[in-house]
Chains A and B, each alone.
Chain A
């Protein structure tokens, strides 16, 4: 779409395609004047709807053409080595194709060129084997140093576990200040913007915004321990230079030390099913002091919110709570209508499991069903699970024989 400068936002006016080429440094912006004009024309010719798009704070810029500089040493190093490699490649490209296109111009029959009769030269062939080898060794040296740096997750100030779920992230603060904090982080872009055929105007942080961002302190080494609950996901934040696959049943780790306060965004980078594009990552880097305040407030809130799993609940209360749990965990497959998707995701409306004995449903929710997309949901609390079971047993005209499932039933089943 065509960019319209948005004067009302001070300090962050939208950038044109053209100015983005300056990101590669002056030599490029001089070199690609022609390309700039061409690309600019191509962009102007687009007939997509016109609305102002600005660079995303902590996310991709409008028509960004190079890696982000990032806010960690690793990201800065990656930015540097990419530019270095790019220029080496451009040099090779110009040299090889300079020779080739000269030959195409000079050694053509239409210019009366007669073909020569040489077809090997040991010296030349050795030279063009050895020279590329030396270039490659030259590239490997800085790369080796960076690999070692990236893999050093020792002596972290804070350790956080990220768990990939279909389709959200869970964070558990394992060690360091804020230990014990735990929450889920889900896409917060309204469904009316993401729906098929939606004409709704989209947020500036469309698809890269969440309800509960990960919060970390600035200038501290954060070790991320990464795993998954169901299929492989990948935790990626370009501004930190971090991407690590989340592998179910295994933990892997990576680290970052953010040097700037701010909000930074990434997305899931490993195909994980239908909502792969809808489980972003948002990290808020706070000053030490703000982080301390946040951690204290978060802990207090968790204490206040804690449910008593031994309490007997009324059906209406459980159903109300269950509707929310259903919306954020179940509706993307089984649909808000409970009708599922034929062939892929079974309907819960009139489902035998939902209408039958509670034990079967409890087992299914806790353990999932092997070989299907039905994952285990044992990471939800007993109250949440009881709520969602009760909700499904009474929603969409369902009339189950056990109309209510209590949290203690789940507690018992877990043992």
Chain B
């Protein structure tokens, strides 16, 4: 049977032939191609969500209604949230996982290559459903991204489209997570024990478990909304024995871990970048791993801090307040570790490092306002005001998004084979950092003064800070065009990147050529 035994090698070569044209993308099974698809998809969604945000800020530039009516305004705030969370931030991190995890653990590809293809190609139809819902009678859902019942029960067909879209995106996320977990647990290069894995891989392993645990919970919550809407059930209708607050419990049991799903991989990216540019090993590797795991576990027992004003009993408020405050401890450990990594290093400040430091700086501000919000008796004043809007944009935009920028600049030379334009990168960083703060810092004041969220119009006394925020928002939006320019320029050409790219970076991804060839680690490397 020698012929048969010989045959598979030749056959394999044929099957792994480099496809061209649209087939390469539609039938993609290569982790690098799928990673690229995810990243472009996320960027397109980032721009769509950004256009919605700028429409919101244009309307809020002055008191009074200038451009949109309140119905459409509510659709915009709702869809901005859904598109950014499910369309931009989450897929972007999955894109990084696809590109980097096999490269970092010395695997030849993801474990389930065809499921990987399916996970991605579920997303464009879901995005079409979401964006398309603007054009159906009654428009898109306007119940807020949290889709609270019973308001979500009142909506038109746009709500059903959003529910279906979130179902699909959830299925995609679960498949992606199973793929990531399987790849990390089974396909590491010989010698790479769990405690030798790069931190980015660790944070994604934990994130993938979080996703598998909570996406079905979200699917359950919105399915109950769907049956309440169309099939006469009363899960969230008191008249039929249901409870509107139960929706919030179920939603936030998903929603709070979701917050960490969007930030843990960001921690991972930053933990890769800081040591490279400090030219010093990451401080406290094992405490970083334990801190990430603690945050993930704690994230399951803090959900009701989003619900302090629903009227919980004293014991409930105290429990969720204490649990929430506790999260500050492992999060603090991470920040201290990063600072200690920088301490007595030999630092240079290329764009990835700038974004990583920017991340630590603004993420910490968001973390500190998080401590303030965790104090239940004070949250009574701040809940559902612009203070909360400021807080979560500090952790999600300046947190997750800045880390995504950092990671993009860091690995772009490996992906494209060219160095990006350092001047453009630095310009992008400073423009983003400054305009971000102009946009969101004044929102703390608005919230403290009592301006509620999701308001299409507001009293005159709030006018100045809103105007400042709107100016900043347009600056921040335009700054992202610098990012697009930098990326396109880097794809087209530029200084040839070396295989190492940076000054002696750690990790297997730097041992393959730049650009990373279509197939890498067909023979697994050995890790000492």
Contacts and interface: CB of A to CB of B under 8 A. Distances in A.
Interface of A: 1, 17, 39, 42-43, 46, 48-49, 53, 55-56, 59-68, 74-75, 77-78, 81-82, 85-86, 89, 92-93, 96-97, 99-100, 103-104, 107-110, 113-121, 124-125, 128-129, 132-133, 136, 139-140, 143-144, 146-151, 193-198, 202, 204-208, 226, 230-232, 234, 236, 238, 241-245, 247-250, 252-254, 266-278, 341-344, 370-373
A96 B332 CA distance: 10
Contacts of A270: 148, 309, 384
B318 A144 contact: yes
Contact of B371 (A85, A97, A110, A370): A85
Contacts of B381: 67, 75, 78, 82, 238, 241, 243
B151 A207 contact: no
B199 interface: no
Given A120-B283, A139-B375, A274-B142, A245 B310 contact: yes
Given A139-B375, A277-B455, A343-B139, A61 B461 contact: yes
A248 B346 contact: no
A34 to B, nearest CB: 14
A269 B385 contact: yes
A151 B318 CA distance: 11
Nearest to A75: B381
Interface residues of B, number: 113
Contacts of A275: 70
What secondary structure prevails in chain B residues at the interface with A? helix
10 contacts: A59-B461, A85-B378, A97-B364, A108-B346, A113-B345, A125-B284, A147-B376, A226-B311, A243-B383, A267-B455
Contacts of A143: 321, 375-378
B452 A268 contact: yes
Interface of B: 61-66, 68-71, 74, 136-139, 142-144, 148, 150-151, 153-154, 156, 228-230, 232, 237-239, 243-245, 278-287, 309-311, 313-314, 317-318, 321-322, 325-326, 328-329, 332-333, 335-336, 339-349, 357, 360-361, 364-365, 368-369, 371-372, 375-378, 380-381, 383-385, 438, 445, 448-465, 467-468, 471
Contacts of A96: 335-336, 339, 364
Contact of A116 (B71, B328, B344): B344
A24 to B, nearest CB: 10
Contacts of B282: 119
A93 B463 contact: no
Contact of A371 (B230, B380, B457): B230
Contacts of B280: 115-117, 119
B465 A63 contact: yes
Contact of B464 (A43, A77, A121, A342): A43
Closest 8 CB pairs of A and B: A249-B238, A343-B137, A252-B311, A146-B377, A64-B449, A116-B344, A343-B138, A119-B281
Given A197-B66, A241-B381, 6 more contacts: A62-B461, A64-B448, A109-B348, A231-B154, A276-B70, A344-B137
Nearest to A85: B372
A65 to B, nearest CB: 4
Contact of A48 (B237, B365, B438, B467): B467
Contact of A249 (B244, B309, B385): B244
Given A148-B314, A244-B309, A113 B347 contact: yes
Contact of A266 (B278, B450, B462): B450
A304 to B, nearest CB: 35
Nearest to B307: A245
B346 A61 contact: no
B384 A234 contact: yes
Contact of A343 (B156, B372, B452, B454): B156
Contacts of B464: 1, 17, 43, 46, 62-63
B153 A371 contact: yes
Contact of B368 (A93, A116, A136): A93
B361 A60 contact: no
Contacts of A64: 445, 448-449, 461
A139 B384 contact: no
A65 B371 CA distance: 19
B65 A194 contact: yes
A253 B309 CA distance: 11
Q: Which of B62, B69, B228, B311 has the most CB of A within 10 A?
A: B311
B71 A85 contact: no
Given A66-B448, A245-B309, A115 B244 contact: no
Given A56-B461, A270-B384, A234 B309 contact: yes
Contacts of B467: 1, 46, 48
Contact of B151 (A238, A271, A343): A271
Contacts of B284: 119-121, 125
A133 to B, nearest CB: 5
Nearest to B286: A120
A56 B346 CA distance: 55
Contacts of B462: 60
A252 B459 contact: no
Nearest to B468: A42
A109 B454 contact: no
B456 A277 contact: yes
B238 A250 contact: yes
B468 A43 contact: yes
B151 A232 contact: yes
Contacts of A117: 280-281
A372 B393 CA distance: 32
B314 A344 contact: no
Contact of A236 (B156, B378, B452, B455): B452
A246 to B, nearest CB: 10
Contacts of A17: 464
